[in-house]
Amino acid sequence: MTELTENQAPAHRIKVQMGYTRNIGNFESVRMDVGLEVDGRPGATPTETFDKAADWVERQFVARFNQVTQELGVK
């Protein structure tokens, strides 16, 4: 499928989720999920909306996962 131009972009909603489970030993694990669901701005293509949402999710995920593992003392 070719990329949609600004005039062809339909109304759209994008949902992006990222998750990870990390084994912390002794049969225990830490699970982190971050997600975002957004409506596309008028004139934005689904790809543009996805890229912005995915960037936000990735930044939040990394920051939160690092915070949680640090608080738990996981290396």
- Element of type H or E holding 17: strand 13-25
- How many CA atoms are closer than 13 Å to the CA of 34, on its beta-carbon side? 14
Mean pLDDT, the chain, integer: 88
Cβ pair 40, 12 in contact under 8 A: yes
pLDDT band at 7 (very low <50, low <70, confident <90, very high): low
- Residue-level pLDDT at 9: 65
As a whole number, mean pLDDT of residues 22-41 equals 91
Q: What's the pTM value of the predicted model, to 2 decimals?
A: 0.77
Domain assignments of the chain as residue spans, ordered by start: 13-72
Non-local (6+) Cβ contacts of 66 within 8 A are none
As a whole number, mean pLDDT of residues 50-55 equals 96
Query: Minimal CA–CA distance to 11: which of 52, 49, 57, 54?
Result: 49
Residue 18 pLDDT > 90, yes or no? yes
